[in-house]
Structure 1
Amino acid sequence: MNVAVVTVGDELLAGRTANTNATWLAERLTDRGVTVERVTTIPDRVGDIARVVNEYRAEYDAVIVTGGLGPTHDDVTMDGVAAAVGRPLEPHDGALEWLANEGGYSREDLTNGTGTLPAGSRALHNTEGVAPGVVLENIYVLPGVPAEMKTMFEEIAPEFNGVTTHRAVVVADEPESALIDRLAELRSQFDVSVGSYPGESVRVAIESPDRETVEAAAEWFEKRVESPA
């Protein structure tokens, strides 16, 4: 299963808010064996949201969108998602009933638009806040508030599954350029993916769906590099 994550918010693009949602989602999805192939941040603009979501829903098994849910003028994610799939926004009886029965909000209590969702969508109830999320075709729309997003994602997490990837990291106390030949040999000897990440030392990440292959490759490589003291 391959997934794109789209985070919506002018404050993310301006650097005023750290994009912790993207990091958390990528980690949780990877843990479930899902391949995250795109993480994209876009502004609070209906046209941008519609264009990116429409592109990604055709290209990936699922698109997760976070942020821009609520009653304020810049909460336009639902408008963008509805435009992406060519559906109108309309009051969602299931979302409004849940807010009334579980949240204690009558329709008169809610700010205009709170329970207005794309036609035909499945509502995701917000147990940590008010604004509901939705599932529409292969698009999952979650709140931007981290606590709300995390709780809502855990409710739908079983819908995201793939092949678990095993990982080992070998630290080499050598310049990355000096490891090129040994990294090439590692890839030729073992059916693994390899990434190297330089810093004070070089971290070499070895991954494969097969645990024994990862362990054997890591042991082989570790014997051929200088380890930190």
Structure 2
Amino acid sequence: MEVALITVGDELLSGDTVNTNANWLAAELSDRGVAVKRILSIPDERAEIAARVREYADDFDAVIVTGGIGSTPDDVTVEAVADAFDREMVVTDLTRESVERRLAAIRERVPDREFDVDVAAEAAVPAGSRPLVTEAGLAPGCVVENVYVMPGIPDELKATFETVGDEFAGDRRSRFLYTVEPESNIIAALAEAAERFDVAVGCYPDREAAHNRLKVTATDDDALDAAAAWLLENANASETPVSRDW
């Protein structure tokens, strides 16, 4: 399974907000054996979001879009996804009830605060979509064909992803090895392992830990194990973290 991630928000592009959502989703998907093929951050621009969603929906098995759902002027993601699939925006019984229930809970928790909420705007989703409602946030996410729209607030994103996490599965597996050898000393070994066993091999220096971390990835468990065993011998690698003593 190949997935693209689109994170929406002017604040991501300006550096005002760290894009932790992309990192968290990529790790979650990788743990499920899914190949994350794209991570794209784009501004809160309806036409741009729609164009990228349409493009990636055609190119990948699934697309996850985060951020820009709600009713403030810069929340245009859900409408943009509707545009991408030529859908109208509608309010369903499920989404209206969810927003009203969450709003009632908020008002009960903060009784001395007035909340002027446009329930219809918060509850609107593309026609024919599958709403994704949780108790974590006000506005619902949704699924339109192979596009999953989720909140940008991290705890709301995580709660929403958990409702559909079982829909993401793949056959990619990885193993990590560690070596104190300088990268220049293991270039040939890494290249040979990749070619000999038809695996992907990455080398990631960790200066604080004083070692290089090797990641071996494959869709065949036997090839993965064989490549790892070969690198243990030929890249002076270890299955447990090691540190340089020089």
- Using the size of structure 2 for normalisation, the TM-score is 0.84
Amino acid paired to 1:22: A
Query: How many percent of aligned residue pairs carry the same amino acid?
Result: 44
1:190 corresponds to: 197
Amino acid paired to 1:95: T
Quote how far apart the aligned CAs of 1:103 are: 5.4
Quote how far apart the aligned CAs of 1:51 are: 0.6
2:6 corresponds to: 6
Match for residue 179 of structure 1 among 186, 189, 192: 186
Match for residue 222 of structure 1 among 229, 232, 235: 232
Amino acid paired to 1:182: A
1:56 corresponds to: 56
C-alpha distance in 2, partners of 1:169/1:36? Answer: 21
C-alpha distance in 1, partners of 2:172/2:217? Answer: 10
Contact 2:99 2:139 in 1 (8 A): no
1:18 corresponds to: 18
Match for residue 163 of structure 1 among 146, 158, 171: 171
Quote how far apart the aligned CAs of 1:77 are: 0.5
Aligned runs of 1:25-174 on 2, under 5 Å? 25-101=25-101, 104=104, 110-111=117-118, 113-174=121-182
Amino acid paired to 1:132: P
Amino acid paired to 1:46: R
Contact 1:191 1:213 in 2 (8 A): yes
Cα-Cα RMSD: 2.1
Quote how far apart the aligned CAs of 1:164 are: 4.3
Quote how far apart the aligned CAs of 1:186 are: 1.9
Amino acid paired to 2:168: F
Quote how far apart the aligned CAs of 1:117 are: 1.2
C-alpha distance in 2, partners of 1:161/1:226? Answer: 33
4+ residue runs over 4 A deviation: none
Amino acid paired to 2:190: L
Q: Which runs of 5+ in 2 are unaligned?
A: 106-114, 238-243
- Matched residue count: 226
Contact 1:8 1:42 in 2 (8 A): yes
Quote how far apart the aligned CAs of 1:215 are: 3.6
C-alpha distance in 1, partners of 2:181/2:206? Answer: 10
Amino acid paired to 2:29: L
Q: How big is each residue's C-alpha offset from its partner over 1:13-49, in whole Å with a ceiling of 9 and x where there is no partner?
A: 0011010000000111111111110110000010110
Distance 1:167 1:93, change over 3 A: same
Q: Which runs of 5+ in 1 are unaligned?
A: none
Which segment drifts farther, 113-122 or 88-97?
88-97
C-alpha distance in 1, partners of 2:103/2:220? Answer: 46
C-alpha distance in 1, partners of 2:123/2:35? Answer: 32
2:213 corresponds to: 203
